[in-house]
A and B are shown apart, each in its own frame.
Chain A
Amino acid sequence: MDATDLARWQFGITTVYHFLFVPITIGLSFLVAGFQTAWSRTGDEKWLKLTKFYGKLLLINFAMGVVTGLVQEFQFGMNWSGYSRFVGDIFGAPLAMEALLAFFLESTFLGLWIFGWDRLPKRIHLACIWIVAVGTVLSASFILAANSWMQNPVGFRINPERGRAELTDFGAVLTNKVALITIPHTVAGAFLTAGALVAAVAMWHLVRRPGRDTGAFRSAVKLGSWTTLVAMAALLITGDVQGKIMTEVQPMKMAAAEALYTTEQPAPFSLFTIGTLDGSRPVWSLDVPRVLSFLATGTFDGRVQGVNDLQAEYAARFGPGNYAPNIPVTYWSFRLMIGFGVLAALFALWALWAIRKGRSPAPERRGTRFLMWAMITLPLMPLAANSFGWIFTEMGRQPWIVFGQMKTAVAASPAASSGDVITSLIVYTVLYGVLAVVEVGLLLHYARAGLPDVTPPPPAESDEDRPLAFAY
């Protein structure tokens, strides 16, 4: 493997890892803000307990998102200096704005929220968590605008003297149609993730610790499950629009997602396949007729271009070379993304069914045992769906790093040797592995601990003597 391959593995590993934490942070910050708002409105203590309980899980997770995010920003320069030189005029601005507009907001107001329970008036304290939540979406919007530019570059010109892309219309970058649909799709994925987590943990408590905080956990199962279901609906709608836009701006990605080698009209959707997918021999595939045409074009008899035709077209346009991404990876990651997402929604539906009309699952029933297994795997489903979604969209863009403008093969850092990159790859992989064990251990510990005691401390003699409401 050369330095570029190593750098790609590194980007893949660190990005997928980083994105395990990001969607939980985005979705959970809103749900925790919702719990705290409910407490503020009703005064019912169960909402305060849920705020603190899920707030703790949010913080354990947030820390990992922050520190792994540092790597992401440095990585462009460290491993991809060719890319950075070429796109910096365009790509750097959203990154800088993300830091200035969103990261400061998130980190500062999260600090105020964690430590400010007794230092701030109640309403301002509540506003802090809402500001954090808004900050997370702002952050997502900027970074997705940057990524969408790589998928569908707009608002720029190529300066041949400097050998770089230069910004001509920043508004076009922010309103890139790929960005406008990717942002809601990704945020919906974040809500799917957080909703599943909230519901699953609460359901576990309802069954395993019956009689303890039942009212609070029932509310959490309902809220979490409904969030998951609504998010799934949003994912299907946005995903559908995204598919059509993708067919328009990156037809090769759509063809690769389906392993569709020859152009077809109408084109069937392949549910499942057995074979090598390399196009050399026919593969057995379970097809639903005409559905791909609908997904790609919006009509049941639309024409969908195949890999071979697109390859010939691109070779004529960009010169000789292989313009198809890794088809088995795109084909399967696309299916796994959808599959895991749908499974999460089905499990959430099951949870709602299990507690319908004031019922609670009886621990001795066999169905309850299956339900418990479903709940334990439920938080993992959206995480897997998110990961496969990113693997699909990034692998599907290959061999381009900026579609149609720059190939990944020429984007790496000439100054970074294979030794450098392999060193950092090993460091990150080992470090991330160890931290994953620690983080999951803590999450399980606090998830199982149950709702905290929220009786206020006895009044202190003076403000000076009062112990901190929260301390590290």
Chain B
Amino acid sequence: MELSTLWFLLIALLFIGYFVLEGFDFGVGMLLPVLGRDERERRVMINTIGPVWDGNEVWLITAGGAMFAAFPEWYASLFSGFYLPLLLILLALILRGVAFEYRGKRPAASWKRRWDWCIVFGSAVPAFLWGVAFANIVRGVPLNAEHDYTGNLFTLLNLYAVLGGLTTVALFLTHGAIFIALKTVGGIRHRANLLAERLGVFAVLAAALFLGVTLLRRATPAAVVLAVLAALCLIGGLIANRMPSRTDPAGRREGWAFVGTAAAIALAVASLFADLYPFVLPSTVDPLTNSLTVGNASSTPYTLKIMTWVAVVFTPLVLLYQGWTYWVFRRRIGTSHIPEEPAPAPASGGRAV
């Protein structure tokens, strides 16, 4: 296999990792005002992802870095072309990241409420825009002979791309609801189960429609197989979400449900990449000459070789220690586990200066 093809696969893998992991973070964030009925429940929700969300986001940074290193032309055309959507994604991710860390740092309810809205905004916007972005990548965008994007913001907001965005939102909402059910105890777990059932219907419909339209435009056998498997996994996960748990009659088989939605997201992203190959960013204008492909966008074999060695050695290590984090924080949490608010800081004893 050509090293550039290997790197296409590795970048697909990094985005799969990102969407599977940050997918439930986004879901949890978007559901904050829906499932979190009071401050304690909202804190339960945030703390289910507390120790891991930052590590999950690094999958995106690594995917971006890998794209820059392995396919500089792809990185340059994509990031300069999708300028305003990426700006919005950055704005959202900045607010969301700061919100997780800062919302508990002051006791006032108004302070928390503001950060909660940052979390909702910061989760919903990227959840939608990543779908829009990937739909456009697969569909192709107008590029000139220098591979520079020549469209504008509205070129990117076409109907198909909006459908892609709604699909990722629906998938991440379902994935997030199931994650909450998997990681909590008490009333919130039950409500998350019920909500996942309903959200799942939308996710199945949106994903089927989106992947269907994608494959009608251009279908490779691998993409079709992966899309069908994605649908089956999603449905399987939703069935597991309705089956009573063996160990706890009040709960459902959330472990299997989570495996189902995670696999569905992974396979759906894989299907998009399989459909894209050998292109990395097709052009809708003069596609034969202006499109970016695995061949004409890649770095030199020497750079790819070095990167391959680094990836081969360090990716398993990352998977190992990141997996270990999930093991360390495997315990379910409920409202009774949330410590009291720290007492407000003692009144100042002296003058400021």
Interface positions of A (Cβ within 8 A of B): 59-60, 62-64, 66-71, 73-74, 76-79, 81-82, 84-85, 87-93, 95-101, 103-105, 107-112, 114-116, 119-120, 164, 166-168, 170, 208-209, 212, 372-373, 376, 413-416, 420, 423-424, 427, 431, 435, 438, 442, 445-446, 448-450, 452, 463-472
Contacts and interface: CB of A to CB of B under 8 A. Distances in A.
Interface stretch (B46-54, B129-137, B167-175): B46-54
Contacts of B81: 415
B250 interface: no
A459 to B, nearest CB: 15
B109 interface: no
Nearest to A124: B328
B63 to A, nearest CB: 8
Given A74-B64, A467-B336, A472-B50, A116 B106 contact: no
B68 interface: yes
Contacts, number: 265
A415 B77 contact: yes
B97 A465 contact: no
A466 B333 CA distance: 10
A119 B73 CA distance: 45
Contact of B86 (A59, A67, A74, A167): A74
Interface in B124-180: 146, 148-150
Interface residues of B, number: 81
Contact of A119 (B66, B321, B328): B328
5 closest A-B pairs by beta carbon, nearest first, are A88-B72, A77-B79, A92-B69, A96-B65, A449-B345
Nearest to A115: B51
Contacts of B299: 88-89, 92, 167
A82 B76 CA distance: 7
A87 to B, nearest CB: 8
Contacts of B98: 63-64, 67, 435, 438
Given A110-B54, A431-B91, A88 B68 contact: yes
A420 B72 contact: no
A424 B87 contact: yes
Q: Of A59, A92, A450, which is in contact with the most chain B CB atoms at under 10 Å from its CB?
A: A92
Q: Which secondary structure characterizes the binding site on chain A?
A: helix
B105 to A, nearest CB: 5
A471 to B, nearest CB: 5
Contacts of B101: 59-60, 62-63, 472
A100 B318 contact: yes
A465 B331 CA distance: 10
Contacts of B314: 100-101
A84 B77 CA distance: 9
Interface string B306-338: 110011001100100110010011010100111
A109 B150 CA distance: 43
A97 B66 CA distance: 8
Contacts of A208: 349-351
A1 to B, nearest CB: 18
B69 A95 contact: yes
B328 A96 contact: no
Given A69-B61, A95-B68, 9 more contacts: A63-B97, A70-B90, A93-B69, A93-B303, A96-B310, A208-B350, A427-B91, A442-B102, A450-B345
B61 A472 contact: no
Q: Which secondary structure characterizes the binding site on chain B?
A: helix
23 contacts: A66-B54, A67-B94, A70-B57, A73-B64, A77-B75, A78-B79, A81-B77, A82-B76, A92-B72, A92-B303, A96-B68, A96-B70, A101-B310, A103-B61, A108-B54, A108-B318, A111-B55, A166-B300, A167-B302, A209-B349, A467-B337, A471-B50, A472-B104
B332 to A, nearest CB: 9
B68 A67 contact: no
A403 to B, nearest CB: 20
Given A415-B83, A472-B46, A107 B58 contact: yes
Contacts of B76: 77, 81-82, 84-85, 88, 413
Contacts of B353: 372-373, 376
A98 B299 CA distance: 18
Given A89-B299, A119-B328, A120-B328, A107 B54 contact: yes
Given A60-B101, A104-B58, A88 B51 contact: no
Interface in B89-119: 90-91, 93-95, 97-98, 100-106
A79 B307 CA distance: 25
A416 B83 contact: yes
Contacts of A104: 55, 58, 62, 318, 321-322
A114 B105 contact: no
Given A427-B91, A472-B103, A445 B75 contact: no
A105 B346 CA distance: 36
B289 interface: no
Contacts of B86: 74, 78
B65 A100 contact: yes
Contacts of A449: 345-346
